[in-house]
Amino acid sequence: DSGVTQTPKHLITATGQRVTLRCSPRSGDLSVYWYQQSLDQGLQFLIQYYNGEERAKGNILERFSAQQFPDLHSELNLSSLELGDSALYFCASSVAGVSADTQYFGPGTRLTVL
């Protein structure tokens, strides 16, 4: 158990809908990262927050957005969903949000778009 929690574990929705994925980091970690894992794209970095502020952006679509709240939990919002958005979405957290940090991964949210 990494100490990172993600809810829900599974999500099934329809095209065009909007969903919110939630992540709680390990106690003491200030930085949160979001990743998308799919069969065709592999594991892709989406976005990173540090203490409430966006720090780095990867391959995140404009239809996707995220935020980190004062209690350090984070939410990833996915809108206008397409079939291709079906994937595993992982949240990770680290202490200081720097490159040398170990990132601790949550168990993931499996999103299925029908």
Partner 1 sequence: AQSVTQLGSHVSVSEGALVLLRCNYSSSVPPYLFWYVQYPNQGLQLLLKYTSAATLVKGINGFEAEFKKSETSFHLTKPSAHMSDAAEYFCAVSGGYNNNDMRFGAGTRLTVKP
Residues that bind partner 1 (CB under 8 A): 2, 4, 31, 33, 42-45, 48, 55-56, 58, 90, 92, 97-100, 102-108
Select 17 or 41, whichever has its Cβ closest to partner 1. Answer: 41
Select 22 or 55, whichever has its Cβ closest to partner 1. Answer: 55
Select 52 or 107, whichever has its Cβ closest to partner 1. Answer: 107
Contact status, residue 89 vs residue 105, Cβ threshold 8 Å: no
Instruction: State the DSSP string of 21-80.
Output: EEEEPPTT--EEEEEEEETTTEEEEEEEEETTEEEEE-S--TTEEEEE-TTS-EEEEE-S
Distance CA(69)–CA(9), nearest Å, equals 21
Give least dist CB 82 to partner 1, A: 23
Instruction: State the DSSP string of 81-109.
Output: --GGG-EEEEEEEESS-STTSPPEE---E
Give least dist CB 40 to partner 1, A: 11
Give least dist CB 13 to partner 1, A: 20
Select 79 or 110, whichever has its Cβ closest to partner 1. Answer: 110
Give least dist CB 70 to partner 1, A: 21
